[in-house]
Structure 1
Amino acid sequence: MTTDPAGRPLDAVGSIKLKIGLLVGLSVVAAALVAEIGNRAGAPLWMTLPVTVAAALGVTQALARGMTAPLREMTAAAARMATGDYSLRVTDTSADEVGRLARAFNTMAVDLATADHQRRRLVATVSHELRTPLTAQRALLENLVDGVVRPDDVALASALAQAERLSDLVGDLLDITRVDGTADLDLAPVRVSDLVAGAVAEARLARDVRYVTQVRPEDLTVTGDAGRLAQVVANLLDNAARHSPAGATVTVLASADGPERWSLEVRDEGPGIADGDEERIFRFGAAAGDGGGGTGLGLAIASWVCELHGGSIAVVPPAPGSTGARVRAVLPRRPGRVAGPTSPPVAHAPGATHPTPEERPMSTEHAVPALPPAAAATNRPPSAVDGVLREIWPESGPATATTPFLASLAVGALGAVVLPERNLGLGALVVLLLGGAVILLVSPRRTRPWTVLSAALAVGLGSFVVLRAAEWLAVLSLLVVALLVTTALTDARRLTAVLAGALAWPLSGLRGLPLLSRTASALSRHRMLWPVLRTAAVSLVALVVFGGLFASGDAIFGSWVSPLVPDLAWDSIILRAFVLVLVGGVVLAGAYLSLNPPRVETLAPPAPRPVRAWEWLVPVGLVVAVFAVFVVAQASAMWGGHDYVRRVTGMSYADYVHQGFGQLTVATTLTLLTVALTVRRAPRTTPRDRLLLRVVLGLLLTLTLVVVASALFRMSVYQDAFGFTVLRVLVDAFELWLGLVVVLVMVAGIRWSGWWLPRAALVSAAVFLLVVGAVNPEAWVARQNIERFETTGKVDVDYLASLGPDATPVVLEGLPAGLAACVVERQSPPDADDPLSWNLGRTRAAEALEAAPADARCP
């Protein structure tokens, strides 16, 4: 439960307010320094910002480690105390108010453990002490009822003696509680033969065994507490009789052991005591559950009484050739007047201030077993963010994650070597695939069909990093990949869950800080860490030294290794460090999300209050009417033709269709939102309610499909008039996808089940993007513009020059050499790719440029 004081740098600060001030100040300074270093190294803002936040969080975690740990430990310890386990202690090394509270908590825990320990011992003692006389009295009464014993003066006197013993025991127990845990011995001369004879007489009533007694000398008299010594003899006889077969003999030997001590030995003919149990049987509860009918407390109480008298008790090995157990108590003949605890003393480890878990349970009915390692891992102290995210994001994953941490660090290091100062290409794809493999392989949901489908779509979209040179396509594909991955890892199904899952990936960087801290601490104590680091450092030095010598000494060798050796200038090193933190952090956050996904399905807006039918029907009906009027207007424009449009609007047909395309796309999106809100608020309790909802919303969605068709028609006419662009093609694809979503919503309404709708929309979006990427949009747009040039003789050279390398082969092949040269001259010269930045689009562009006529000039 406690943490390493070495990892708590602010423990020496005596004020929690000063600690918080230092924490905030140093975190701000660290963030400012990292941001300035990144800026001077030329790192872009989108890379500097997350690394700066990570640096600030890292400093906060390092400094705050231990500030709130005692509070979390106290929460966990208090929960364990509620179950009766008082063994946990909290770290109390801090000098501030929290440390003082922790020390007070530990003191309270020790007091509670001691009180609980004494309570259990007292209950056990009461149970055992009352059992023996009650058993004897019950046997006597049964004999009286059965007629075995006559109700004469002797029998009644025996019953009275047992009742008096019970009364004396209750009085002793009350005296014990009054003196708060101490028991005084009532020392007086005791004749040992009478002591043994009385105990044997009581024992004969309860067990079918034969007792043989021998006292040497017969008049042996000692000083002691007669009642306590009777407990010792009675408990030893009871234990021996319980473990002996019927009709066996139990032997009691009492003898003087020199002038100062005397001994009492009890032998039986049972199975004996197993090797290794000689010490254990004198502990409370050691013999419980052995099938002999005892409570397992007799020998423990006998040991306690012997210690009260200043003596001891132990198991003696049986004589050669004999069986059974031999228990011998050695006591002083004249003990001093001593006082002892009401329970047998428990030996504590040196320096211990509280009972160990093994010492706590003294009664099997109340024992609280120590948690196994697996349970201890799941019951670790809650992290600082648990108070906010406990319900939807409990920390139920592993206690440490060494393998995902090292794998993420390796992927980050690979990204730092491969990505900086290179175009997106083969190296970026390798980093993406390895990072995705790390995230996927640690997920418990990796074999589910949805996860497999998402992984396949993600690989297809990620391949555009190599297949296409358009960076916007790679960025758009990676955004969809991230949404697919988070949906698979969190098992999100509803729309709110899908959106929450997308936010969970960046939030995992914060939520996973406790796991990262525990993993780093565990890793730092691993015996193989430093040998591995030393080996890696020596290997790297050897590689740099010998590789540099051979590269500088042989030009061919140098040409081979130069593409693989990164630039080691300071700016480059800093930039690569930023890339390492960013890539490794993204993979590590994804791995945490995979190991410990939030319960995003529990996130849902509050249940709405259903409205009356007219409350939703009136506004939705007005929307339907507006859509219907718009459809009529579109039909009049199509039937009236260009002359009608010019006469009514004063615009050409091309200007007319261009005017409202964006508004139609927004209207389609708002229609889907309107349908969702209506389904949520409209009553659906009766068949009439559901029929009305289906008819009205079905009509609205049908008119929406007409709007989608109108928008696509408008864009087609506009492109025929003014040419194609990548943006217009993407908007066409988005509008077409919205139309597909409208159809899916209609299917959900017909089936009256829409749980599958968010995932279906996400898969269709990924498929649409796959189709767009497979078509090679920039090359397709260039081809359409060239075909338009062949028909009209018009071409926008500047726009073709703005397209990337994917369009270069089409331009060089389709345009006349002069116009193609105009386009190529306006383009930025392509960068030379090494094997790690190889890209199919840029490679084809380079090959087309090499094959182009060298003497072509722009007119």
Structure 2
Amino acid sequence: MNDPRNRRTKTTRLDPKRPIGLFSSLKIELSVVIVMATSIAFILVWFLLKYGWSGWIAMPLTMVVALGITYFFSRGLIAPLRQLRDAAEAMSEGDYSVRVKLGTKSNDEIGQLARTFNEMAEELQHADQMRRDVVANVSHELRTPVSALQAMVENMADGVVEPTPANLEGILNQTHRLSDLIAFLLDLSRMEAGAASLNVEKFDLLDFLDETVEPLEIADAGHAHDIVMHVDENIWLEGDQDRLRQLFTNIIANALKHSPDGTKVLIEARENTNNGTIITNVVNFGSQIPVEERSDIFRRFVKGRSTPGTESGGTGIGLSIARWAAQLHGGTVRVVDDPRGADFEVVLPKYHVAEDDSRDVSRTRL
């Protein structure tokens, strides 16, 4: 049996023949139904009595007609709810591909509910697909170093290879790789939890960026990227250096990954004294990110399209972690227009303010 989550997106259509639905309020629609049914019943009674019908016959007949009118119009109200119920039941069974297609007469609360349902279904389908993708990716990434470690240790245990410094260094490299993967999973779990404790301290931004860039330059040695920094001196920042290092490492590494070999990556930082923020721009020369994709790339497990001559792959979580780390400090990360290339702008408050601290972040400190 096929997994229902792998099926195409299915659409449940709201009845386009709904007799009502033009109004923006369900209360108005119900009022219209009641007024119409009452008016028709009154006219029918008047007509029957005028032509000599007995009241004992006219009244029951009128009630039947009024009930028929009410039932006819109520079908237009209840049918979409049934379809929404069926779609919700399908989702509860794991089929996130179901959608409710809106008719032209869906401006009331039911139409709004259907639109909200579709948005929810879209997010759930995306999250479910990305969850399965990341499980497959992480499983593959874990299998490689574990297999290498197992082979190395077994060969040493069997006496096939000697425990030379080079072989031991190879084992150490694989353990570092495993450690990085575990750190990635921990970051993912922290981000899913939506909170993390911060060890706030005051530090020099230029020294911090130098320390952050150095290991990236070593890892990038084979691609000949030139990392240029234009950072104002004596810029001090308050924050958690570990979390902020995650932020800038992911942003800079993303720029390096999407830059052709031999090109330049620019890091600019300045202080905005008007609002007490530090603005940092990481520019990847040559490539651009379409406006319609700029918000999506910060979603979890979304991988940007690689340009010719650049690296591909990755977990699709780096930019999400960067945005999460910025938000923990009350800052933002976004892609801004820049004719030079893809420009990631990081805005952080100069002074850290706790959630229960109402002090002005732009105040001057001694």
Question: TM-score, length-normalised on structure 2?
Answer: 0.54
Q: What's 2:249 paired with?
A: 234
Partner residue in 1 for 2:6: none
Residues 7/118 of structure 1: CA separation in 2 closer, same or farther (3 Å cut): closer
Distance 2:210 2:175 in 1: 22
Q: Which residue, out of 308, 320, 326, partners 1:306?
A: 326
Asked whether the equivalents of residues 259 and 284 of structure 2 are also in contact (C-alpha less than 8 Å), the reply is yes
Alignment partners' CA distance in 1, 2:238 and 2:74? 60
2-side partners of 1:7 and 1:164: how far apart? 61
The one-letter code of the counterpart of 1:266 is V
Separation (CA, whole Å) in 1 of partners of 2:345 and 2:249:
14
Distance 1:151 1:58, change over 3 A: farther
- Partner of residue 79, structure 1: 86
1:331, CA displacement in angstroms?
A: 1.2
1:266 aligned residue: 282
Q: Secondary structure at the match of 2:211?
A: helix
| Aligned mates of 1:278, 1:154 — CA distance in 2 | 42
**Greater share of strand:** 2
Task: List runs of 5+ in structure 1 lacking aligned partners.
Answer: 14-21, 41-52, 94-101, 340-859
The one-letter amino acid of 2:329's match is: H
Identify the match of residue 324 of structure 1 among 334, 337, 341: 341
Deviation at 1:80, TM superposition (A): 3.1
1:329 CA displacement: 0.9
RMSD over equivalenced CA pairs, Å: 5.5
- Higher RCO (C-alpha 8 Å, min separation 6): 2
What is the aligned counterpart of 1:186 among 198, 204, 229? Answer: 198
Structure 2 matches for 1:239-258, cutoff 5 A?
239-254=254-269, 258=273
Residue 284 in structure 1 maps to residue 296 in structure 2:
no
Higher helix content, 1 or 2 = 1
Shift of residue 59 of structure 1? 4.3
Is the Cα–Cα contact under 8 Å of residues 187 and 337 in structure 1 kept in the other structure? no
Residues 316 and 291 of structure 1: is their aligned pair in 2 closer, same or farther, counting only changes over 3 Å? Answer: closer
Q: How far does residue 315 in structure 1 lie from its aligned partner after superposition? A: 3.3
Distance 1:158 1:224 in 2: 31
What's the counterpart of residue 7 of structure 1?
29
Task: Using the TM superposition, give the Cα deviation of residue 36 of structure 1 relative to its aligned residue in structure 2, in angstroms.
Answer: 5.8
For the 8 Å contact 2:281–2:345, the answer to whether it is kept is yes
Alpha-carbon spacing, 1:171–1:232, altered in 2? closer, same or farther (3 Å): closer
Matches of residues 92-241 of structure 1 in structure 2 within 5 Å?
Answer: 113=120, 120=127, 127=134, 151=166, 159-175=174-190, 181-189=193-201, 191-202=208-219, 204=220, 208-214=223-229, 216=231, 222-241=237-256
- Secondary structure of the 2:285 match is coil
Asked if the contact 2:277/2:348 (under 8 Å) is kept, the reply is: yes
Alignment check: 8 A CA contact 1:192 1:254 kept: no
Matched residue SS, 1:9: helix
Structure 2 residue matching 1:183: 3-state secondary structure:
coil
Helix, strand or coil at the partner of 1:169: helix
Contact kept, 8 Å, 2:255 with 2:265, in 1: the verdict is yes
CA pair 312-91 structure 1, distance change in 2 beyond 3 A: closer
Q: Which whole-Å deviations, capped at 9, do the CAs of 1:181-228 have from their partners, x for residues lacking one? A: 5312423446332223234445x28x8351414373678664334443
Question: Per the alignment, in what secondary structure is the counterpart of residue 230 of structure 1?
Answer: helix
Q: Secondary structure at the match of 1:326?
A: strand
Per the normalisation by structure 1, the TM-score is 0.27
Task: Give the residue type in structure 2 aligned to 1:79.
Answer: D
Q: Deviations over 1:627-686 (max 9, x none)?
A: xxxxxxxxxxxxxxxxxxxxxxxxxxxxxxxxxxxxxxxxxxxxxxxxxxxxxxxxxxxx
How far apart in 1 are the matches of 2:34 and 2:187? 52
Equivalent positions of 1:460-471 (< 5 A) are: none
Taking the aligned partners of 1:211 and 1:243, their CA distance within structure 2 comes to: 13
SS at 2:195 equivalent? strand
Report the alpha carbon displacement of residue 168 of structure 1 after superposing the two structures with TM: 3.2
**CA contact 1:210–1:249 (8 Å) conserved in 2:** yes
Change (3 A) 1:242 1:299: same
8 Å Cα contact 1:217/1:255 also seen in 2: yes
For 1:125 and 1:173, the matched residues in 2 are separated by 14
**How is 1:552-701 mapped onto 2 (pairs within 5 angstroms)?**
none
Q: Tell me how far 1:313 sits from its aligned partner.
A: 2.5
d(CA) in 2 for partners of 1:334, 1:305 = 15
Q: Go from structure 1 to structure 2 and tell me whether the alpha carbon gap of 1:335 and 1:155 turns closer, same or farther (over 3 Å shift).
A: farther
1:468-516, CA deviations, whole angstroms, 9 ceiling, x for partnerless residues?
xxxxxxxxxxxxxxxxxxxxxxxxxxxxxxxxxxxxxxxxxxxxxxxxx
Equivalenced residues, count: 284
2:227 corresponds to which letter in structure 1? Answer: V
Q: Is the 8 A contact 2:267 2:282 kept in 1?
A: yes
Give, in whole Å, the separation in 1 of the partners of 2:184 and 2:209: 21
Which secondary structure does the structure 2 equivalent of 1:325 belong to?
strand
Distance in 2 of aligned mates of 1:254 and 1:232: 14
Q: In 2, are the aligned partners of 1:280 and 1:286 still within 8 Å (CA)?
A: no
How far apart, in 2, do the equivalents of 1:232 and 1:125 lie?
25
1:391-424 residue CA offsets vs partner (Å, 9 max, x unmatched): xxxxxxxxxxxxxxxxxxxxxxxxxxxxxxxxxx
Aligned 1:356-395 pairs, distance under 5 A: none
> Contact (CA 8 Å) 1:188, 1:224: kept in 2 or not?
yes
